[in-house]
Structure 1
């Protein structure tokens, strides 16, 4: 029901993930990014694994060590598909025996991709290839990878939701958290949302850090 990618930017240290699915609100359950890594918890989803995975990597565990801990503590690991990456670009991946339909995975430089119920097992590799060749902000590269996954076949049926999270070192909250929860072309809509948000991103970071020097809000009633 899902195809996704987790990655980091070697230049900025940002980590993030992007995901699309036929299910509604996929990013709310599957995508998790923190200052030191990103986790995707998918297939028959347990969102708690995303939260726990980020916490374990924040404690200093490598993605592989965190994955092994998650699988040890998870009561139904065969139903889970997990992807983890940390701020150094190390990654880990797991496909449970009960992963649905056609399952694929691929790893590359600073990225890992996977999916289930895929139209073609080569979808994750298409995502990795485009991510490695792309340039620009991490969010933009993750969206390009999603678009490549869709072009390579995507899910076996139509997708209706998509989401994107990006976190950066020193900021405790995801600086990018965009979601399309139900739309006929969710990945295109996600790309459009990013283009709207991109020029405002740093303003929101500044407002959180130092409101006195932040730019005005540009809304009725704002006299700044």
Structure 2
């Protein structure tokens, strides 16, 4: 009931994830990122703690594969878990437990991993990775969304998708993009619309955090 793409952008070192599910608020449970450390999707029958454990292991110096192994070593139900990881050197790792739901698969690319369960078809994950890799968008977020769109066009999940999230970390401690659609009939369309609103303001909000004396106006009544 979930498919996702985690990736590192080679030119900037940014990490990002796009994820969707038939269940509500998927990004609140399954999307895990940390600037300069890595990105993790913890999905299927989700244990959100695994995302935090993998990030802590990466921060301690382990690579993606070792971090997955370390996190799963203390997991009581590894057969139910699906994990994908990209680390700060672009290494990838994936674990799909034997009890992953329905049609499930994964694919690893250049500093990117796509995976899913309860899919309409295994080809959905190849389309997700390909849509990202072949995107002509000039933004990391746009390329992640293009992957999402390609996966939906390839059939998506076996049932309707209701929630989605897009999250990117860059050179500051907080996510520079963190957008969620927690329940909707067309979360891809709504997430894309949110990105179109956020994109022209993204850099301004970074400036406001780092140096409010040079920050652009908020453009709201009373702000001069």
Displaced runs of 4 or more, over 2 A:
none
Partner residue, 2:189: 188
Question: Is the Cα–Cα contact under 8 Å of residues 166 and 176 in structure 1 kept in the other structure?
Answer: yes
Root mean square deviation of aligned Cα: 0.9
In structure 1, the residue matched to 2:148 is: 146
Secondary structure in 1 matching 2:43: strand
TM-score, with length taken from structure 1: 0.96
Alpha-carbon shift at residue 110 of structure 1 (Å): 1.7
Give how far 1:55 is off: 1.9
1:37 aligns with 2:38: yes
Q: Report what 1:111 is aligned to.
A: 112
2:166 to 161, 164, 167: 164
Structure 2: gaps of 5 or more residues? none
Partner of residue 59, structure 2 = 58
What's the secondary structure of 2:108's corresponding residue? strand
1:64 and 1:102 mapped to 2: Cα distance? 24
- Per-residue deviation at 1:49? 1.0
What is the number of equivalent residue pairs in this alignment? 222
**What corresponds to 2:22 in structure 1?**
22
Whole-angstrom distance in 2 between the partners of 1:87 and 1:127: 22
**Residue 78 of structure 1 aligns with which residue?**
79
Cα shift at 1:87: 2.5
How far apart, in 1, do the equivalents of 2:43 and 2:70 lie?
Answer: 17
What secondary structure is seen at the aligned counterpart in 2 of 1:114? strand
Tell me what 2:218 maps to: 217
Query: Given that residues 104 and 123 in structure 1 are in contact (C-alpha distance below 8 angstroms), is that contact kept between their aligned partners in structure 2?
Result: no
Kept after mapping to 1: 8 A contact 2:167/2:177:
yes
Distance 1:124 1:6 in 2: 12
Q: Are 2:80 and 2:100, in contact at CA under 8 Å, matched by a contact in 1?
A: yes
Name structure 1 gaps, 5 residues minimum.
none
- 1:71-91 per-residue CA deviation (whole Å, 9 max, x = no partner) reads 101111111000000232211
Q: Which residue of 2 aligns with 1:176?
A: 177
Task: Report if aligned partners of 1:107, 1:125 keep a CA contact under 8 Å in 2.
Answer: no
> Does the aligned pair in 2 maintain the 1:104–1:124 contact within 8 Å?
yes
For residue 7 of structure 2, give the secondary structure of its aligned residue in structure 1.
strand
So what's the TM-score if we normalise by structure 2?
Answer: 0.96
